[in-house]
Chains A and B, each alone.
Chain A
Amino acid sequence: MAVDDDLLKQYKGRIPEPLLKTFREYADEVGLSKANQKKAIEKIEGRYLNSKIHPGEAIGIVTAESFGEPGTQMTLRTFHFAGVAEANVTLGLPRLIEIFDARKDISTPIMEIYLKKQPKDEKELEKLIALIKEIKFSEVLAEITINIAKMIIEVKLNRKRMKDLEIRDDPLLKALRTTLKTVDILDKDDLLIMKPKVKELTLPGLYAIKERIKEVHVKGIEGIKQVLPVKRNEELILISSGTNLKKVIEIEEVDASKTTSNDIFEIAKVLGIEAARNGIVREVSKVLHDQGLEIDDRHIMFVSDLMTTTGTVKGVTRSGITGEKESVLARASFETPIVHLINASMVGEIDKLNSVVENVLINQPIPLGTGLPGLVTKMKGEKEDEQ
């Protein structure tokens, strides 16, 4: 029997959407009678209301405990091969720390690039990979030498490699010229002669320039060191080591709606703070799942929300969330107390004793749980008493 739409409408907003959805699907599947539908949904609502969290619950500390306790069970194994042909990824406790620290330079930046259309054959795939993978000038060199007598750098190109990678001379020269503005570049058949425009050129200076020349970005997307095709759920995706979300989702063949990076800051920059919040949720879930730890999504979501609630990604560090706290004593009791006290003394900071530690420090009930509710009452002759 079909599910009564009126019934569902009635309970919309009273029961969370996902529960209603399962109810509709499963009631349909079992063929629940109308009377039973009503009975069941009443029971579900009852259960839902019974499961609601209590006001005053110290949910922050519960969440911290939910991560802290299993933390001891995690492995330190830094590297891990996820699957047969995927790249090395930092996982386990180090990765979790990295995410919660909101570190800007993560140890293994990785992108998962989804494609709009599955490539027809190997060739198409290779072409696509060539489009994404970064090629530096050093990869198309046959030889790079310093001519000390003339104080120039001579470069011999690897024509075969260039042909393989479909790099033609003009774009290459253009790339070189735009990045190396202080160097004159002469194209002499097979030889590129580079002469720095600096007045007093020293040999070490020349060597430095040589290294810079090698690093010039020629083709592909900057920062993408490697691209690997991987089958995931019957779908071919590309996994890259090194990230550049902005440039990659600009490529036409790439499905920008699914493509992701594991660099939270990059997500925040390119896609905004909400995306970064979801990025943290996804990355943390990945680590926990890999370690076989079961931690409820609510905790992960909560930490992510807290880290992103100000609009920028903040780490769980003394300069991040804890450092932003209003209370001087709360900050001082965490780390570097002297600094906080000295700074507070100069501006006459006021600690209003709103949060937990301060009240612990001075032996007062904390404003959480059973310490939260207050009593409002009119007292007889209160004023006389005080005087």
Chain B
Amino acid sequence: MHSKSYSYKKVDKIVFGMLSPKMIKKMATAKIVTPELYDREGYPVDGGLMDIRLGVIDPGLRCKTCGEKLKECQGHFGYIEFARPLIHIDYAKVLFNFLQCTCRECGKILMPEEERQKILAKIDKYLQKNNVDSFRKASKLAKIMCRSVRKCPHCKAKQLGIKIEKPTTFFEDTKRLNPIEIRARMEKVSDEDCLLLGLRPEYARPEWMILTVLGIPPVTMRPSITLETGERAEDDLTHKLSDIVRINQRLFENINAGAPEIIIEDLWDLLQYHVTTYFDNEITQVPPARHRSGQPLKTLSERIKSKEGRFRHNLAGKRVNFAARTVISPDPKIGLNEVGIPFEVAMELTVPENVTEWNIEWLKEFLKKGPKQYPGANYVTMEDGKKKKISAETQEQLLQELTPGQVVERHIVDGDVAIFNRQPSLHRMSIMCHKVRVLPGKSFRLNPAVCNPYNADFDGDEMNLHVPQTQEAMAEAETLMEVQTQIMSPKNGLNVIGCIDDAVTGNYLLTKLAEMPKQEAIMLLLSIGVDEPDRFRKFKETVNGKEIFSALLPKDFQFVGFSKNCKKHKVCEGKKCETDSFIVIKDGNLVSGVIDSNTVGEGNGTLLRDIHRLYNETTSVDLFGKIFRLGIAYLLKCGMTIKTSDADMPEDIQGRVKEMLESAETDVDKLIADFKSDKLKAGVSMSIRETLERMILQRLNEARNEIGKLIAKSAAPGNSSLIMAQSGAKGNILNLAQTAALVGQQALRGKRINKGYRNRTLSLFKQFDLSPAAHGFVRHSYKKGLNPYEFFFHAMTGRDSLMDTALRTPKSGYLYRRLANAMQDLKIEYDYTVRDANNAIVQFTYGDDGVDVSKSDGGSIDVKKIINEVEGAD
């Protein structure tokens, strides 16, 4: 922002075309004639490939063309003149078409004049409208029409069959056509005929596809690197080019010396090979040119192609400054929209601050600290645009000379905006804006409540941080990307941010049965940042958990909802509900109900969504943080642990489990017996065997589910695992049942395990054993331990799911890339239509109603809720 005048230039369009030999010579600054690169002193040879007219890559040298030094000179093209013309590999197919479709004598297109005019008129129309696609289609038809014409309609000359021997050898009948002959024929093709065959002569003439000169890219495009040994390693392109120049010189010499035709042709073919591989070194019919080490050279095509090519790696993928990356760790005490940054990072990342008369004193404080103390500054940019580093020597002077108009790059401080990101960036919540909070420590700190949108955990994950450098960028980041603006997912209109793990358990326990003296309650609330005294005024001597939770809520907040354990009675029992599942908040007071993952969790936090809908974003993100911290603080106070005894069962329950298991096994035995005696009836569209499998699977799963229910019912009320499952914080009843009672059937591809030896899964079973145990039924619990074959079956399903994940990731990644590429330029226009880059309408109203999913309530507008609110307000 130091420059006073803005010159804003925009690239309007890019036109593609071919280079004519004339153009190549015109562009070139040097003719390359010798394959040598450097002379004995290591100075680039004139007329060599590293000629300093082509630009410089050595520090100290100056470019002969523009007089600039390294980095300032962007390089200049050169050219070489071929002794004999050569075919450009990427246009070989087009040349083939031209040879087939034009007369060998007169060079006219093999099409009656009448037809020719007709198509020409059509093409003319297309081109006027700039309709390239239709032009291509029309010329393709023309090609097909002329391809097999045997007699020229114009000069009546007989045509011979043209064949191509890939990649670059052409034959007419059996006689080989050399590039000179082909070029001669191409020169005869008229401009109009070019159009008919799909070339626009202003941009591309067929004879240009046969190279007589070759442009030499500037040295800056193929820099050599100096190895530690002092040796110079040249770029792959330079290697290839020097091959071309060498063979070309040899060819010249041989021709001038009048060498036999065979030798000349051999050299010519060799030169063709080098030029072909110079353009593309991955052609199937051509052995790739290699380094001495045997590794193939990376020539022009390979530089552009694929993920590591110029397009996807360098052009579509940008690199930036003012970024940091380190390991992340959790800190529930900072806000959801904050990010903890280590001092070390804060002293590297800076924000440019324009010096004005109003902030000069403030900025001087930064300057005084210098780059080595926090909060200091690293650079000062003068009015003339010169950047000066702040160091012990320059500090004093810069401080004194500081005047409005300069720019100070000061360290980031608390409250600055930063953009935080975790890869893979699968959705827009993967990059969000946070407020800076500089903290001691070496890792980035983030509130665990925002783990979900980033899909982060703390097992060593690293994240990236960017600091916007302009006022526009900062304002945009703050208003469009900050955490509170991203609470609702555009995927389905549900909240991606909510309480997790301990925060859920804590709130659950707090609102379920907690009770504490007034002082303790106030201390608890103060510890999480609730510091308005009138919040505590209502408290009596003993305060229950619901009252504590209510202290967070806005005073005019009304809410009705159900908790996770709601039994869904036909007629809701309301406040008399035995599981206390009917949640009522009246005027900011939690009257009844327990808070759990259904109200404050991620994805389905109905309470959180209502708060977000009714109050502004900053209030709600602040409140989310408080609810989160309240849960954690309470849990810290009352203590929570899972222990092995959580999975202990009383004797009688153990007996019942055993009974249930045995009954299931007898049932299965009976099924097998029925099957063996052919008494089993086949189900629809299944064989008897399939029916049996299906029934066994059903019976065994039924048994496990029953046992799961029994365990849930019989577990001690203080069982931590159960509390976590019930509150929806982590795990489910099944996990507990698997640890306490039995693991159950291991299913592979939806069936029992049937792989292994002939007619049996493992060698310890008898052949044709259909019993549960022989097909992956694990009847032991995790706590008791699995026996060897159970362990093996369990490992089988485990491996299967691992493979599934490994195979799925690249597949879904590719689908995503394709979708993103196809849809990236679709946008909502000002008239609310959805249009693509060419303004073609895709939808007249987005999603039929023009509603933004992330602003909706789970995908729609909850009319019933609004009516209830209106009704309730009376």
Nearest chain A CB to B591's CB is how many angstroms away? 21
Does B18 touch A at the CB level, under 8 Å?
yes
Known: A58-B827, A345-B18, A370-B476. A228 touches B684 (CB 8 A): yes
Taking CB atoms, residues of chain B closer than 8 Å to A77 are: 749-750, 804
Taking CB atoms, residues of chain A closer than 8 Å to B203 are: 345-348
> How many angstroms between the C-alpha atoms of A318 and B413 in the bound complex?
47
> How many angstroms between the C-alpha atoms of A105 and B860 in the bound complex?
36
Does B292 touch A at the CB level, under 8 Å?
no
Tell me the dominant secondary structure on chain A's binding face: helix
Does A201 touch B at the CB level, under 8 Å?
no
Asked whether, in the complex, the Cβ of A346 is within 8 Å of the Cβ of B18, the reply is yes
Residues of A370-384 whose CB lies within 8 A of B: 370, 372
Q: Which residue of chain A is the closest to B867 with respect to CB atoms?
A: A40
Nearest chain B CB to A139's CB is how many angstroms away? 17
Asked whether, in the complex, the Cβ of B815 is within 8 Å of the Cβ of A71, the reply is yes
Nearest chain A CB to B713's CB is how many angstroms away? 27
> How many angstroms between the C-alpha atoms of A191 and B233 in the bound complex?
83
- Picked from A36, A53, A369, A370, the residue with its CB within 8 Å of the CB of B846 is A53
Does A273 touch B at the CB level, under 8 Å?
no
> How many angstroms between the C-alpha atoms of A352 and B14 in the bound complex?
7
Q: Other CB < 8 Å A-B pairs besides A26-B867, A228-B684, A298-B853, 16 of them?
A: A40-B870, A52-B851, A53-B846, A53-B851, A53-B855, A55-B832, A57-B852, A59-B827, A65-B491, A72-B812, A344-B16, A347-B136, A349-B15, A353-B13, A355-B824, A370-B480
- Give 19 CB contacts A-B under 8 Å: A51-B856, A55-B829, A60-B823, A68-B812, A68-B819, A72-B809, A74-B812, A75-B808, A93-B815, A100-B815, A100-B819, A294-B494, A296-B491, A333-B311, A333-B316, A346-B203, A348-B200, A354-B825, A355-B837
- Picked from B11, B18, B490, the residue with its CB within 8 Å of the CB of A62 is B490
Does A186 touch B at the CB level, under 8 Å?
no
Taking CB atoms, residues of chain B closer than 8 Å to A203 are: none
Stretch from B57-65, B301-309, B758-766 forming part of the interface with A:
B301-309
Known: A54-B852, A316-B818, A350-B15. A79 touches B749 (CB 8 A): yes
Does B357 touch A at the CB level, under 8 Å?
no
Taking CB atoms, residues of chain A closer than 8 Å to B830 are: 55-56
Asked whether, in the complex, the Cβ of A353 is within 8 Å of the Cβ of B11, the reply is yes
Asked whether, in the complex, the Cβ of A55 is within 8 Å of the Cβ of B828, the reply is yes
Does A272 touch B at the CB level, under 8 Å?
no
Residues of A33-81 whose CB lies within 8 A of B: 36, 39-40, 43-44, 47-48, 50-72, 74-77, 79-81
Asked whether, in the complex, the Cβ of A67 is within 8 Å of the Cβ of B202, the reply is no
Stretch from A210-218, A252-260, A301-309 forming part of the interface with B:
A301-309
Residues of B68-103 whose CB lies within 8 A of A: 90-91, 94
Does A208 touch B at the CB level, under 8 Å?
no
Most chain B Cβ neighbours within 10 Å, of A65, A333, A370: A65
Asked whether, in the complex, the Cβ of A356 is within 8 Å of the Cβ of B749, the reply is no
Asked whether, in the complex, the Cβ of B821 is within 8 Å of the Cβ of A56, the reply is no
Does A165 touch B at the CB level, under 8 Å?
no
Asked whether, in the complex, the Cβ of A22 is within 8 Å of the Cβ of B815, the reply is no
Q: Which residue of chain A is the closest to B749 with respect to CB atoms?
A: A77
> How many angstroms between the C-alpha atoms of A353 and B16 in the bound complex?
13
Residues of B836-874 whose CB lies within 8 A of A: 836-838, 840, 842-843, 846-853, 855-856, 859-861, 863-864, 866-871, 874
> How many angstroms between the C-alpha atoms of A316 and B824 in the bound complex?
12
Does A85 touch B at the CB level, under 8 Å?
yes
Nearest chain B CB to A361's CB is how many angstroms away? 4
Nearest chain B CB to A173's CB is how many angstroms away? 32
> How many angstroms between the C-alpha atoms of A344 and B818 in the bound complex?
22
Taking CB atoms, residues of chain B closer than 8 Å to A27 are: 867
Taking CB atoms, residues of chain B closer than 8 Å to A285 are: none
Taking CB atoms, residues of chain A closer than 8 Å to B852 are: 51-54, 57
- Picked from B199, B750, B826, B855, the residue with its CB within 8 Å of the CB of A79 is B750
Q: Which residue of chain B is the closest to A86 with respect to CB atoms?
A: B685
Asked whether, in the complex, the Cβ of B821 is within 8 Å of the Cβ of A322, the reply is yes
Does B204 touch A at the CB level, under 8 Å?
yes
Taking CB atoms, residues of chain B closer than 8 Å to A85 are: 683-686
Taking CB atoms, residues of chain A closer than 8 Å to B637 are: none
Taking CB atoms, residues of chain A closer than 8 Å to B808 are: 72, 74-76, 93
Asked whether, in the complex, the Cβ of B819 is within 8 Å of the Cβ of A295, the reply is no
Taking CB atoms, residues of chain B closer than 8 Å to A329 are: 14
Residues of A within 8 A of B (CB): 16, 18-19, 22-23, 26-27, 30, 32, 36, 39-40, 43-44, 47-48, 50-72, 74-77, 79-81, 84-85, 87, 93, 96-97, 100, 226, 228-229, 294-299, 301-303, 305-306, 309, 316-317, 320-322, 325-330, 332-334, 337-338, 341-358, 360-364, 367-370, 372
- Picked from A44, A58, A80, A354, the residue with its CB within 8 Å of the CB of B824 is A58
Q: Which residue of chain B is the closest to A329 with respect to CB atoms?
A: B14
Residues of B within 8 A of A (CB): 10-18, 90-91, 94, 130, 132, 135-136, 198-200, 202-204, 280, 301, 304-305, 309, 311-312, 315-316, 318, 426-428, 476, 480, 490-494, 683-686, 694, 749-750, 804, 807-809, 811-813, 815-816, 818-830, 832, 834, 836-838, 840, 842-843, 846-853, 855-856, 859-861, 863-864, 866-871, 874
Taking CB atoms, residues of chain A closer than 8 Å to B824 are: 58, 60-61, 64, 355-357
Q: Which residue of chain A is the closest to B300 with respect to CB atoms?
A: A338
Asked whether, in the complex, the Cβ of B13 is within 8 Å of the Cβ of A342, the reply is no
> How many angstroms between the C-alpha atoms of A68 and B813 in the bound complex?
7
Asked whether, in the complex, the Cβ of A16 is within 8 Å of the Cβ of B846, the reply is no
Asked whether, in the complex, the Cβ of B132 is within 8 Å of the Cβ of A316, the reply is no
Taking CB atoms, residues of chain A closer than 8 Å to B311 are: 332-333, 337, 361
Taking CB atoms, residues of chain B closer than 8 Å to A69 are: 426-427, 491, 816
Known: A59-B846, A302-B843. A43 touches B750 (CB 8 A): no
Asked whether, in the complex, the Cβ of A64 is within 8 Å of the Cβ of B823, the reply is yes
Asked whether, in the complex, the Cβ of A16 is within 8 Å of the Cβ of B843, the reply is no
Q: Which residue of chain B is the closest to A66 with respect to CB atoms?
A: B491
Most chain A Cβ neighbours within 10 Å, of B312, B428, B821, B838: B821
Taking CB atoms, residues of chain B closer than 8 Å to A316 are: 815, 818-819, 822
Asked whether, in the complex, the Cβ of B90 is within 8 Å of the Cβ of A44, the reply is no
Asked whether, in the complex, the Cβ of A345 is within 8 Å of the Cβ of B856, the reply is no
> How many angstroms between the C-alpha atoms of A30 and B849 in the bound complex?
26
Taking CB atoms, residues of chain A closer than 8 Å to B849 are: 16, 18-19, 48
Taking CB atoms, residues of chain A closer than 8 Å to B838 are: 326, 354
Taking CB atoms, residues of chain A closer than 8 Å to B280 are: 338
> How many angstroms between the C-alpha atoms of A251 and B749 in the bound complex?
38
Q: Which residue of chain B is the closest to A328 with respect to CB atoms?
A: B16
Known: A97-B811, A332-B311, A368-B827. A347 touches B135 (CB 8 A): yes
Taking CB atoms, residues of chain A closer than 8 Å to B834 are: 59, 302, 305
> How many angstroms between the C-alpha atoms of A358 and B130 in the bound complex?
19
> How many angstroms between the C-alpha atoms of A84 and B691 in the bound complex?
10
Most chain A Cβ neighbours within 10 Å, of B13, B94, B135: B13
Known: A40-B870, A51-B852. A351 touches B822 (CB 8 A): no
- Picked from B130, B309, B804, the residue with its CB within 8 Å of the CB of A350 is B130
Asked whether, in the complex, the Cβ of A346 is within 8 Å of the Cβ of B837, the reply is no
Known: A53-B846, A346-B203, A364-B10. A299 touches B491 (CB 8 A): yes
Asked whether, in the complex, the Cβ of A364 is within 8 Å of the Cβ of B476, the reply is no
Taking CB atoms, residues of chain B closer than 8 Å to A342 are: 90-91
Most chain A Cβ neighbours within 10 Å, of B812, B861, B863: B863
Most chain A Cβ neighbours within 10 Å, of B132, B312, B840: B132
